[in-house]
Structure 1
Amino acid sequence: MNLYNIKHPEQQVNFAQAVRQGLGKDQGLFFPATLPQLSNIDELLALPLVERSQKILATLIGDEIPADKLNAMVKNAFTFPAPVAKVADNIYALELFHGPTLAFKDFGGRFMAQALATVRGDGKITILTATSGDTGAAVAHAFYGLENIEVVILYPKGKISPLQEKLFCTLGGNIRTVAINADFDACQTLVKQAFDDEELRQAIGLNSANSINISRLLAQVCYYFEAAAQLTAEQRQNLVVSVPSGNFGNLTAGLIAKTLGLPIKRFIASTNANDTVPRYLQTGEWQPNATVATLSNAMDVSRPNNWSRVEELFKRNGWQLSELGSGALNDAETETALKAQYAQGYLCEPHGAIAYQVLKDQLQEGETGLFLCTAHPAKFKESVERILGIELPLPDALDKHNKLPLLSDEMDNDFAILRAYLLK
């Protein structure tokens, strides 16, 4: 598999290099030089999740990883289902929260851990990543206990849910977590600064595990095929997919699936009050505002890293950005949407509620709508209980971590302090 740096196309790497390196020169994102057109979509959709995903990823990655190793990587990563549930007439939910950390990031995080273990070579590796909520848990659990791999996760102090924090800040061992006194965008900037420091990169074997790493992105492509496989052929022909969007890796994966030939009529990028992309699509002006804290904290991102990949796909495919739907909800509207879902018999959480409502508002006659449920409602226990007036039991995966003490360090938004911490 050949990939290039979007900022510096002359920088070319293979899949193993992209996985190990994470980011390219000048913080550029790696992207596949070619994406194949799959001719056997119906045959693929008839297969079980793991077998189908093995074939899709083998086609994308090529023979760089032996077939038996790649098949084992997928089998070890995708150990849980991604069911589709009916919510309303012509509206369905793709539930991506049935993995060990109850969030969609389990697909990408677990596959990346498998990929890095396969291509790592010799020497120490330090995974440095920023999280706005769910990435941290998925990465921490995927890499926990792996030999010679240290993980450092930055998150905005007080801006993720308490249960999200407990899920990845109670492990210890090779997992270090740092609460930064700033917002997620500041955490992400610190990660970028670290990657720009060549001496630091070499000293600690720096790598990243958020959605900028190509291995995570390719893994996410697979669950769009799984969603389509659970719909009828007729429903697939007019399928509209609404993606709750923060850093825009999830939408990028869906657009790759469409590029491969998966029949998706159009996508909708659904955001909260951090609405840089919806405003950009309306005005043509890229004007990020200061990030604001919302109920849907995993989407509290004003400068989405993966947007350059979205634009690259549209350019390469000859698509028009005007074809991409978008919408944004504030917290009051999010609460109303969550109540509407619950009234129809479907229990969701703020991120999925936004994706549902924007989809509902824009779905046209004859279309089938699918929205992504990216996290279990119990991960947002306090807000969901308050909004719906119910009591949510904690799943075992959350309950056991909720009883453990936090092991996080706290740090100001200062790269010099982070640098010294990483070199300890």
Structure 2
Amino acid sequence: MKLYNLKDHTETVEFSKAVKLGLGSQQGLFFPKDLPSIKKEKLSELLNMNFISRSSEILSKFIKNEIKKTELEKKVKKAFSFSGPKIIKVTENIACLELFHGPTLAFKDFGARFMAQMLSYLNNKNEIVTILTATSGDTGAAVAHAFYKMKNVRVVILYPKGKISALQEKLFCTLGENITTIAINGSFDECQTLVKQAFNDEELKKITGLNSANSINISRLLAQICYYFEAFALIPKQKKIELIISVPCGNFGNLTAGLLAKSLGLPIKSFIAATNANDTVPRFLKSGNWEPKNTISTISNAMDISRPNNWPRVEELFKRKKWDLTELGFGSVSDDQTVNTLHELSNLGYDSEPHAAIAYKLLKEKIKPNQFGLFLGTAHPAKFKETIEKILKKEILLPKVLKERCKLPLLSHNMRPNFLKLRKFLLEK
């Protein structure tokens, strides 16, 4: 599989190198040179497979002969060794695609665990790898648990201090061992900038074996394509005809994966890019001007991102496929509207959380009578226990994994958003 750098099309690499590098020169994202497609007659055969076999087939279309199919299926089975996606009916023509039944109760378990399996397979020289990543909430936990105690891998996770939920923090800041967490006194965008600065430092990269597990890493992105196919396989035949999918967007990796699923041949009618008050993309789609503002803290904290890393991939895919960007649905939702939507969902018998609520609200507004809609449930409501209980005035029970972590002390370091301090920290530890 050949990939090219979106900022320098002359830089092309194999899948294995893209996984190890994370980013290309000038912090460019890697993108597939060839966009595979699945013929209609093969699609129905694919949809009849089980989740693991189908996912292996889908991933092999991108990875090709770099990893043998039998070996790839073993790695996929190990990565996705938890409850798969579930579809829960909310109204007659809207359902939630729940992606939070993995070990850290978030959709990011799929991508992070697949990336961990790929890195362990590709690191045949047993070189020391430092995974440096930024999180606005769920990535940190998924990455930490995926790489926990993995040989020759050191994980360093940056997160905005006081701007993720207490339970999100407990999930990944209590592990220790090869997992180091740093609370940055700033926004997620500042955390992300620090990661980018580190990747621009060639000496640092070489000494520490730097890699990133954000959704910028191609292995994470490809893994996420798989659950869109599973969702399509799970819905009744009559509801597949006019399928609309609403995606809560932060860094836009989840939407990119859905669009790649469509590019492969999955007949999804359209997507909705749903954001909170950090609405850089909706404003861009409306005006054509890219004008990121300062990041605003909201109750949907995992989406508090003003400079989404994956947006260039979305634009590149639309350009390559000759799709019209005006056909992408979009919208932003305020905190007050999110609170009202959480009440609405609860009254319908479905207790959700802020990110999914935003996707539901925009889906409900834009869906037509003859269409069927899925909104993505990206995290378990219990991860936002305090917020949800305050809004809904009802108790949200903690799953076992959260109960266990609650009692443990936080092991995080604290740091200002200063690259020289981070650099020193990475070289000393």
TM-score interval (norm. to shorter): over 0.9
The corresponding residue for 1:92 is 95
The corresponding residue for 2:200 is 196
SS at 1:346 equivalent: coil
Q: What does 1:345-356 correspond to in 2, within 5 Å?
A: 345-356=349-360
What TM-score results when the alignment is normalised by the length of structure 2? 0.98
CA displacement at 1:258 relative to structure 2: 0.1
SS at 1:241 equivalent: strand
SS at 1:268 equivalent: strand
Question: 2:391 and 2:31 mapped to 1: Cα distance?
Answer: 41
What is the one-letter code of the residue matched to 1:34? D
2:235 corresponds to 1:266: no
2:123 corresponds to 1:120: yes
2:347 corresponds to 1:343: yes
The corresponding residue for 1:16 is 16
In structure 2, which of residues 317, 320, 323 is the aligned counterpart of residue 319 of structure 1?
A: 323
Query: Over residues 157-187 of structure 1, what are the superposed CA-to-partner deviations in whole Å (9 max), with x where a residue is unaligned?
Result: 0000000000000000000000000000000
Q: What does 1:230-309 correspond to in 2, within 5 Å?
A: 230-309=234-313
The corresponding residue for 2:221 is 217
SS at 2:31 equivalent: strand
CA displacement at 1:307 relative to structure 2: 0.2
What is the one-letter code of the residue matched to 2:324? Q
SS at 1:404 equivalent: coil
The corresponding residue for 1:414 is 418
2:389 corresponds to 1:382: no
Question: 2:370 and 2:123 mapped to 1: Cα distance?
Answer: 48
CA displacement at 1:89 relative to structure 2: 1.4
The corresponding residue for 1:361 is 365
Query: Over residues 185-239 of structure 1, what are the superposed CA-to-partner deviations in whole Å (9 max), with x where a residue is unaligned?
Result: 0000000000000000000000000100000000000000010001123211200
Moved more, 192-201 or 78-87: 78-87
The corresponding residue for 1:131 is 135
SS at 1:370 equivalent: strand
What is the one-letter code of the residue matched to 2:24? G
The corresponding residue for 1:108 is 111
The corresponding residue for 2:6 is 6
What is the one-letter code of the residue matched to 2:213? A
SS at 2:90 equivalent: strand
CA displacement at 1:43 relative to structure 2: 1.1
CA displacement at 1:134 relative to structure 2: 0.1
SS at 1:361 equivalent: helix
Question: 1:152 and 1:121 mapped to 2: Cα distance?
Answer: 22
The corresponding residue for 1:65 is 67
CA displacement at 1:59 relative to structure 2: 1.5
After TM superposition, where is structure 1 displaced by more than 6 Å over at least 4 residues in a row? Answer: none
- Which runs of 5 or more structure 1 residues have no equivalent in the other structure? none
Question: What's the RMSD between the two structures over aligned residues?
Answer: 0.6
CA displacement at 1:150 relative to structure 2: 0.1
CA displacement at 1:60 relative to structure 2: 1.5
Identity %: 60
Question: 1:384 and 1:220 mapped to 2: Cα distance?
Answer: 27
Question: 1:260 and 1:66 mapped to 2: Cα distance?
Answer: 21
What TM-score results when the alignment is normalised by the length of structure 1? 0.99
Question: 2:48 and 2:90 mapped to 1: Cα distance?
Answer: 24
The corresponding residue for 1:81 is 84
Query: Over residues 298-346 of structure 1, what are the superposed CA-to-partner deviations in whole Å (9 max), with x where a residue is unaligned?
Result: 0000000000000000000001110000011110000001110110001
Query: Over residues 31-82 of structure 1, what are the superposed CA-to-partner deviations in whole Å (9 max), with x where a residue is unaligned?
Result: 1001111011111111111111011111111010122221111000112211
Question: 2:421 and 2:4 mapped to 1: Cα distance?
Answer: 32
